Each structure stands twice: as structure tokens, then as C-alpha cells.
């Protein structure tokens, strides 16, 4: 996993792609031109349909709207008038930072270390799948914002391949999400992705054993100090989630006691719910109850 951590903390060196990781208000004119060149040169052949190509052009449009406004083209005697900036064009390139002001590469490097730590318990394949699944859930729940009515809506970015391999696609998705939403939201996404990966496996093989360890390993680091051995809030939220879903599918459902402990009864109920409800829906319901989506 050392190569994953090294890749996660490595800055994006391709200028056009690097510019996509900054707020459009901060971009200089050369950075805008870098995006144009990237859209023209980096997506040839089989990559021509990559949604990131369309998104790059859309960010170029946003740059022009930010600098010149989105009013109609003005003409003088039939000749177009050169637009006048409505605000100064940035002259100095800013560093890559998260919405919270943290150095982006330090933030993504730390997230890479978290994935590596998860791999010690989950295995490398499942840990990376957890990250990929979490990024997809995070992006689905937090679509790109609305933009100027002068243009259509943003092209929806394609999902990350959930193949358990940390390559350039996953690396850029990690950095794009961290730049857009911040490291804490990506850390939550990783936790949800880890839980979802466990739930998918449990549903596929019909074996929910290990639920307690998987749940606390995923969510515990976000919610408490490692030495805290008291009742665990994520266990209670899971019990509430199972009660809500279980009653919808089973006439004879008996509510679990919400005591913040995952024991045999909660594990059995988890397996019972997975016989009637999709593991992804279960995870998303849990995420909403925890305020993570």
C-alpha cells in the first residue's frame, strides 16, 4: 500500500487537470488556456467520450462567466465588441487547497494513509473498493452545483470503477472530491464505502458474521478516541436503521433494543434484513441517519 499512499500525496502535474482542482474564481488566464489544451489533446480516440472532457470545457465556460459575465454578445455596427472584464483577472496562481484551507496534497496523502490502515483489516482489494464505492456515493449525493443559465447543466461525472485497483482514475477522483467537498466528507465516504463493501459481501455470501468489527472499524475513527470502550453510537444508529427497514419487509419483525452494542441479535437481524433489502439501500439509509449523505 506504500505506492497508494505515495500516489495519493503526489501533486497532479498535468496543468489542465490540476486547474480542475481549483475554484474557478482563482484561475489565471494561463490556467484557463491549460484547460482548453487539455480538453483538446488529452481525450482522443477511445477517451473522446470521457465526461471529464466535457466538464473541462464547462469549467472554461465558467471562467469566462466569472470574468466577463453571462450577458449577450454586444455588437457595434454588426461587429462584435471585445468584452470588458467585470472583475480583475487573477494574475498569480494560488496553491491547491481544500475548502477548509488545508494543503490539498497533504489532505489526500492523509486519506491515502487511512486507506492503507483500512487495508490491514479489510485487505487491500476491499479497502480500495471501499474508497471507490464511497467516492461514488459521495458524488451521487453531492452533484456539481447549478451554473449560469447561459449554459446547460454540468455533465455528470462518470462513476469510479469499483475494481479494487488504485490507479489514475481513482486517484483523480479522490483529489477532485477532496478539493470540492473537503477531506472530512471524503473520510466519511471511505467509512461508508467500507461498511457498504462488507454489507455487499455479507449479502452475496449470506454470512453477516463480523458485523460488529466491520462497523466499528469503519465508523469508529470518525466518532471517538481509540481507547473509548463505551457504547458506540454507530451501533445504535445501525440498530435504528435495521428496525426501520425490517418492519417494512417482515410482518413478524421484533424491534431490536437500541443499546449501542452489536451482538448476536443485531448481527442476525442484519442478515435477515439483507435477505429482503439491497445492501446499497441499507447503507444509504444508515448514512442519512448518521448525517453523512
Domain with 196, as residue range(s), is 2-205
pLDDT at residue 99 greater than cutoff 90? yes
Backbone phi and psi for residue 49, each to the nearest 5 degrees, phi listed first: -95, 10
Residues near 162 by beta carbon (within 8 Å), at least 6 away in sequence: 129, 132, 133, 136
Is 225 inside a domain boundary? no
- Rounded Cα gap, residues 50 and 188, in angstroms: 27
Predicted TM-score of the model (pTM): 0.92
CA-nearest of 236, 184, 240, 244 to 215 is 236
For the chain, the domain total comes to 1
- The predicted structure's pLDDT at residue 45: 86
Residue 245 lies in a domain: no
**66 — phi, psi (to 5°)?**
-65, -40
The band of 82, judged by pLDDT with boundaries at 50, 70 and 90, is confident
Residue 175 to residue 111: CA distance in whole angstroms: 10
Asked whether residue 234 is assigned to any structural domain, the reply reads: no
Is 156 in contact with 51 (CB distance < 8 Å)? yes
Residue 235 in domain = no
Interval 136-161: pLDDT, tens: 999 999 998 888 888 888 988 889 99
Question: pLDDT tens, 209-256?
Answer: 999 999 999 999 998 877 776 778 999 999 999 999 999 998 899 999
95: left (phi over 0), alpha (psi -120 to 50) or beta: beta
In-domain check, residue 179? yes
**Does 256 fall in a domain?**
no
Q: Is residue 212 part of a domain?
A: no
* C-alpha cell, 65: 462567466
Instruction: List, for residues 191-207, the tens digit of each pLDDT value.
Output: 999 999 999 999 999 99
Ordered DSSP codes for 22-69: S-GGG--HHHHHHHHHHHHHSS-GGGTT-HHHHHHHHHHHHHHHHHH-
What pLDDT, on the 0 to 100 scale, is given for residue 47? 86
Structural domain includes residue 80: yes
Q: Tell me, what's the pLDDT at 72? A: 79
Amino acid at each position: 500500500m506504500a505506492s497508494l499512499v505515495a500516489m495519493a500525496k503526489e501533486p497532479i502535474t498535468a496543468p489542465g487537470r490540476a486547474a480542475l482542482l481549483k475554484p474557478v474564481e482563482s484561475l489565471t488566464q494561463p490556467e484557463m488556456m491549460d484547460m482548453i489544451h487539455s480538453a483538446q489533446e488529452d481525450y482522443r480516440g477511445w477517451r473522446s467520450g470521457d465526461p471529464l472532457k466535457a466538464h473541462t470545457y464547462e469549467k472554461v465556460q465558467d471562467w469566462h462567466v466569472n470574468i466577463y459575465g453571462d450577458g449577450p454578445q454586444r455588437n457595434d455596427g454588426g461587429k462584435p465588441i471585445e468584452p470588458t472584464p467585470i472583475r480583475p483577472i487573477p494574475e498569480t496562481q494560488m496553491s491547491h487547497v481544500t475548502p477548509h484551507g488545508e494543503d490539498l496534497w497533504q489532505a489526500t496523502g492523509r486519506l491515502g494513509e487511512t486507506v492503507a490502515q483500512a487495508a490491514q483489516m479489510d485487505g487491500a482489494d476491499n479497502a480500495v473498493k471501499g474508497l471507490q464505492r464511497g467516492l461514488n456515493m459521495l458524488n451521487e449525493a453531492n452533484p456539481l452545483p447549478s451554473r449560469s443559465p447561459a449554459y446547460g447543466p454540468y455533465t455528470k461525472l462518470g462513476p469510479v470503477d469499483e475494481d479494487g485497483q488504485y490507479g489514475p482514475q481513482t486517484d483523480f477522483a479522490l483529489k477532485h472530491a477532496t478539493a470540492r467537498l473537503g477531506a472530512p466528507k471524503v473520510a466519511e465516504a471511505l467509512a461508508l464505502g467500507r461498511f457498504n463493501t462488507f454489507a455487499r459481501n455479507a449479502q452475496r455470501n449470506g454470512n453477516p458474521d463480523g458485523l460488529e468489527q466491520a462497523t466499528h472499524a469503519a465508523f469508529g475513527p470518525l466518532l471517538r478516541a481509540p481507547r473509548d470502550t463505551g457504547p458506540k453510537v454507530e451501533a445504535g444508529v445501525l440498530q435504528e436503521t435495521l428496525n426501520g427497514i425490517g418492519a417494512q419487509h417482515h410482518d413478524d419483525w421484533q424491534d431490536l433494543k437500541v443499546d449501542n452494542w452489536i451482538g448476536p441479535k443485531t448481527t442476525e437481524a442484519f442478515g435477515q434484513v439483507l435477505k429482503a433489502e439491497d445492501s446499497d439501500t441499507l447503507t444509504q439509509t444508515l448514512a442519512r441517519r448518521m448525517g453523512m449523505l
